[in-house]
């Protein structure tokens, strides 16, 4: 019977290996492993014939799960020499209109980039805004029946703290030119001071709006923005894209000329040379709403960008695609573009490319320069997967050989030391029958307390979480340490709550 099984398994293994045509590492190594193990079993016999079926199951399962790993790229990284305050994104456009285009941030991993389905990929370098609306404070406010005009101001470093964060509110007297920093001359904020703002409407009706000290801010660490080249223009992005709203921009107290606006973007040009921004004032004018008051006035929802006449280049050393394996929290290289290949395989949008000292210089001409791949993305995926073929083949061969060595070694070991092992097993069996079982039968267990049940459930759940994979490796380590320390104490606690029943 065993001879028939050996011959049958050897034939099956050989057929599987031939079907692989040396192109499928899983079938090749699985078939060769079965064939070699069957031949060895036929020669040695004895214990090898009992280990053959478990060996085939373990070999097939191990190779199957390894080869199920998807090695396709799912993340990317840009090695900057100088990033010039730009955020980087990978934009993927697909042929299928039903498939949503995706935008991936650097260091972010997605399930599948789908380069084989992609029509085009672009690496976008998105400039960070100089200021956002929340970094500006309201300094003036006027309302009529038709319009609302709010003046938003920034001066120095864009760091404002709530006044309530300080214990005292200090006062500057412009008439006497005296600053009152001492506690006896300052307002104690524990008194919950409130302020009032007057709303003047067209019908001369006065409304007094109370503002809590919690909603007031004061500026800290004043400073300025310095630029390496004169500013060319200022761009304002209205995130609400309200065409009925208009913005007047003052830089260092001078009104800028508005050049054009489109889809929520406003462009303002400089008439004089400006290298330093000391303050920014934006006057927002929009239609008035019914029963509008300052309490309804929300912080300005804009982003402000600067365009220099000679912007600093984005200097790139390398651009890489990666495969991220979350189970082991590792990034594996998939495909690289060095500076010279970037220049030949990519075209620039809102930017100009040139090479210096083996580095790619992308000189921005807008706030979102990008690199567009001119070759099909599927080609890049095929080249990246080709880099893994040798590694995948090596792991398959190494795993198969390792299991074969273990299979052969186990068979030889069992044949040589069978009598000794059998003798020791008999000793263990006798100890269990004559010592352990009678001792447990003599135990008289007390009533199980709710605390004991809770502790046991905690350990059962903890060990279950440890055995099964966790995305949070830190939590896994903590659970292992806690369980290793407390498990012996749990056993001692349970047995200490029992007593031996004497005959």
Asked whether residue 440 is domain-assigned, the answer is no
Q: Do residue 303 and residue 377 come from a single domain?
A: no
The Cα–Cα gap between 237 and 249 comes to 13
pLDDT at 321: 92
Nearest of 284, 152, 147 to residue 202 by alpha carbon: 147
Look up residue 368 and give its two tokens: 């979102």
Look up residue 485 and give its two tokens: 């320390």
Give yes or no for a contact between 95 and 117, defined as CB atoms under 8 angstroms apart: yes
Q: Spell out a b/e string for 44-74, using b for 16 or more CB atoms within 10 Å of the CB, else e.
A: eeebbbebbeebbeebeebbeeebeeebbbb
Which residues touch 321 (CB under 8 Å, ≥6 apart)? 73, 75, 76, 113, 333, 334, 335, 336, 380, 384
Q: Do residue 180 and residue 86 come from a single domain?
A: no
Domain boundary among the residues 276, 291, 308 is at 308
Residue 2 backbone dihedrals phi, psi, to 5 degrees: -65, -35
Q: Do residue 274 and residue 166 come from a single domain?
A: yes
3-class DSSP state of 204: coil
Beta bridge partners of 90: 104, 123
Q: Do residue 216 and residue 288 come from a single domain?
A: yes
Asked whether residue 349 is domain-assigned, the answer is yes
Which residues touch 100 (CB under 8 Å, ≥6 apart)? 94
Q: Do residue 363 and residue 378 come from a single domain?
A: yes
Looking up tokens 């047995």 gives: 495
pLDDT at 224: 81
Q: Do residue 63 and residue 99 come from a single domain?
A: no
Q: Spell out a b/e string for 408-427, using b for 16 or more CB atoms within 10 Å of the CB, else e.
A: beebeeeeeeeeeeeeeeee
CA-to-CA separations, 123 to 72, 96, 324, 367, in angstroms, rounded: 18, 20, 19, 14
- Angle formed by the axes of helices 450-467 and 473-496, nearest 10°: 140
pTM confidence score: 0.64
Computed on alpha carbons and rounded to an integer, the radius of gyration of the chain in Å comes to 37
Number of domains in the chain: 4
Q: Do residue 142 and residue 91 come from a single domain?
A: no
Q: Do residue 157 and residue 304 come from a single domain?
A: yes
- Angle formed by the axes of helices 25-44 and 48-67, nearest 10°: 170
Print pLDDT tens along the chain (503 aa).
566 667 777 788 788 888 877 778 888 888 888 888 888 777 766 666 777 778 888 888 888 888 888 888 889 988 887 766 888 999 998 887 666 788 888 888 888 888 888 889 999 999 999 888 877 878 777 877 788 888 888 876 556 677 777 777 777 666 667 677 666 667 777 766 777 766 655 456 666 777 777 777 766 555 688 898 999 999 999 988 777 888 999 999 899 999 888 888 999 999 899 999 988 999 998 887 756 666 566 778 899 999 999 988 999 999 999 988 877 788 888 999 998 899 899 999 999 999 988 899 999 988 999 999 999 999 998 898 888 888 888 888 998 899 888 888 887 777 776 667 667 667 777 777 776 667 666 655 555 566 667 777 777 777 676 666 555 566 666 767 776 677 676 666 666 655 544 44
pLDDT at 503: 46
Asked whether residue 212 is domain-assigned, the answer is yes
What is the SS3 assignment for 82-121? ECCCEEEEEEEEECCCCCCCEEEECCCCCCCCCHHHEEEE
Length, in residues, of the chain: 503
Q: Do residue 233 and residue 105 come from a single domain?
A: no
Q: Do the bridges between strand 231-238 and strand 302-308 make them parallel or antiparallel, or are there none, so unpaired?
A: antiparallel
Write out the residue range of the structural domain in which residue 30 sits: 2-68+388-416
pLDDT at 135: 79
Half-sphere exposure of 118 (CA within 13 A, CB side): 26
Look up residue 370 and give its two tokens: 């990008």
Asked whether residue 422 is domain-assigned, the answer is no
The Cα–Cα gap between 303 and 317 comes to 30
Q: Do residue 281 and residue 234 come from a single domain?
A: yes
Sign of CA dihedral 269, 271, 276, 282: negative
Which class for 186: exposed (0-12), middle (13-18), buried (19 or more C-beta within 10 A)? middle
Q: Do residue 6 and residue 116 come from a single domain?
A: no
Domain boundary among the residues 244, 278, 308 is at 308
pLDDT at 230: 93
Nearest of 213, 245, 252, 211 to residue 230 by alpha carbon: 252
Q: Do residue 56 and residue 116 come from a single domain?
A: no
């Amino acid at each position: 019977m065993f001879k028939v099984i050996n011959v049958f398994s050897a034939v099956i293994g050989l057929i599987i290996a031939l079907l692989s045509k040396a192109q499928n590492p899983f079938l090749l190594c699985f078939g060769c492993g079965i064939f070699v193990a069957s031949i060895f079993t036929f020669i040695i016999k004895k214990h090898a014939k009992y280990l053959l079926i478990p060996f085939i199951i373990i070999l097939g399962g191990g190779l199957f799960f390894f080869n199920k790993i998807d090695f396709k790229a799912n993340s990317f990284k840009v090695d900057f020499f100088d990033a010039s305050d730009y955020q980087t994104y990978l934009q993927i456009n697909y042929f299928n209109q039903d498939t949503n285009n995706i935008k991936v941030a650097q260091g972010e991993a997605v399930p599948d980039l789908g380069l084989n389905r992609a029509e085009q990929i672009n690496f976008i370098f998105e400039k960070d805004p100089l200021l956002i609306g929340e970094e500006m404070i309201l300094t003036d406010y006027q309302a009529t029946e038709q319009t609302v005009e709010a003046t938003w101001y920034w001066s120095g470093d864009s760091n404002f703290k709530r006044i309530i964060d300080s214990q005292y509110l200090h006062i500057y007297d412009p008439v006497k030119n005296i600053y009152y920093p001492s506690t006896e001359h300052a307002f104690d904020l524990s008194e919950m001071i409130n302020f009032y703002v007057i709303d003047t409407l067209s019908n001369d009706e006065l409304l007094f709006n109370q503002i809590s000290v919690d909603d007031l801010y004061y500026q800290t660490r004043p400073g300025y923005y310095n630029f390496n080249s004169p500013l060319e223009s200022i761009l304002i992005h209205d995130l609400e894209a309200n065409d009925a709203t208009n913005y007047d921009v003052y830089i260092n107290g001078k009104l800028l000329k508005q050049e054009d606006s489109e889809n929520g973007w406003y462009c303002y040009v400089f008439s004089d040379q400006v290298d330093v921004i000391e303050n920014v004032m934006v006057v927002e004018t929009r239609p008035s709403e019914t029963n509008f008051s300052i309490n309804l006035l929300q912080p300005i929802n804009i982003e402000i960008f600067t365009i220099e006449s000679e912007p600093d280049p984005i200097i790139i050393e390398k651009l890489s695609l990666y495969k991220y394996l979350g189970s082991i929290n590792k990034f594996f290289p998939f495909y690289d573009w060095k500076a010279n290949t970037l220049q030949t395989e990519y075209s620039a949008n809102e930017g100009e490319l040139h090479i210096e000292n083996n580095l790619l210089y992308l000189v921005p001409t807008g706030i979102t320069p990008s690199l567009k791949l001119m070759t099909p993305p599927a080609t890049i995926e095929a080249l990246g997967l080709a880099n893994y073929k040798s590694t995948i083949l090596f792991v398959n061969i190494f795993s198969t050989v390792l299991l074969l060595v273990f299979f052969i070694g186990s068979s030889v070991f069992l044949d040589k030391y069978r009598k000794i092992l059998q003798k020791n097993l008999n000793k263990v069996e006798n100890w269990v029958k004559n010592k352990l079982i009678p001792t447990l039968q003599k135990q008289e267990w007390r009533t199980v307390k709710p605390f004991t049940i809770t502790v046991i459930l905690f350990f059962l759940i903890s060990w279950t979480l440890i055995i099964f994979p966790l995305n949070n490796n830190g939590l896994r380590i903590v659970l292992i340490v806690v369980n290793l320390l407390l498990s012996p104490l749990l056993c001692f606690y349970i047995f200490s709550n029992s007593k031996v029943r004497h005959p």
